[in-house]
Amino acid sequence: MFKVAPILAFTDNYIWLISNPDTKEAWVVDPGDAQPVLDKLAISGEELAGILITHHHPDHTGGIAKLLEHKNVPVYGPANDKIKEITNRVKEGDTVEAAGSSFKVIEIPGHTLDHIAFVYDNAENPAVFCGDTLFAGGCGRVFEGTAEQMHGSLSKLAALHKDTQVYCAHEYTQSNLYFAREVSPDEQAIRDRLSRTATKRRHSRPTVPTPLSIELETNPFLRCDDQDIKASIETHSGKTLPSPVEVFAEMREWKNNFVDP
């Protein structure tokens, strides 16, 4: 079994370090910057063995070239000409062997069209590395795909085992939960989660990963078929929204313009 540690990059990116405690082999997910990874490896004594990439954005790929200068390792990622360092282009259903474990590739377009996730669907310790698609308490912006694609991708992630640990790529939880509270002011579970999150952030502690079960309960973007959320989004947008995709699209638009209290 692998262990996972966060490496903070820029202001709020997490580069996830997946390592095998027996072999000291380490893989990194979405190294937007190389130096924090090299610093971490120097301290831990682990050896870089490979790189996993979820999508082409520079804050997820900018450190690949420098890491490859440090050590020539395989780079698994989506087919996209913008990421020229990728050695193994993977797609839905492919399997990647990393740090002694098997990760399944799923395609989750919407934030970008090339976005993929790496799923460890072992019944004991399920995990997903989902980049900028599902965040703790929220979801990524829809830059390249359609609302329908993003909603479909979030539904795909929501269907994973409920104990799956969600390793997203940014520390956006507190801001996301302010928005979730705005959408559902009466939901005690959201208020409780916001309070726990605020405490962690006051001590600069990561709020991720989180189990999918918590997301299913408190992340409004995974609950577009909930009648109370639908009513809240309809009231805010002034529109009738017959389908969960339309609820999602309006909620995402609202969040794009939402300012933290």
Half-sphere exposure of 225 (CA within 13 A, CB side): 6
Tell me which of 57, 151, 223, 252 binds Zn ion, using CB under 5 A.
57
CB of 221 to Zn ion, least distance (A): 16
Count the neighbouring beta carbons within 10 Å of the beta carbon of residue 94: 16
Residue 56 in the binding site for Zn ion (CB under 5 A): no
Q: Which of 56, 60, 115, 151 is catalytic?
A: 60
CA distance between the termini of the chain: 41
Of 99 and 147, the one with the shorter C-beta distance to Zn ion is: 147
Of 25 and 132, the one with the shorter C-beta distance to Zn ion is: 132
Cα–Cα distance, 213 to 223 (Å, whole number) = 12
Q: Which of 30, 59, 115, 151 is catalytic?
A: 59
Is 151 an annotated catalytic residue?
Answer: no
The answer to whether 30 and 54 are in contact (CB under 8 A) is yes
Is 170 an annotated catalytic residue?
Answer: yes
Residues whose CB is less than 8 angstroms from the CB of residue 75 and which lie 6 or more positions away in sequence, other chains included: 50, 51, 53, 64, 68, 83, 85, 86, 87, 88
27 token code pair: 């893989």
Q: Which of 30, 56, 57, 151 is catalytic?
A: 57
Residue 132 in the binding site for Zn ion (CB under 5 A): yes
Looking at 84-92, 98-106, 130-138, 147-155, which segment touches Zn ion (CB under 5 A)?
130-138
Residues annotated catalytic, as ranges: 55, 57, 59-60, 111, 132, 170
Residues that bind Zn ion (CB under 5 A): 57, 132
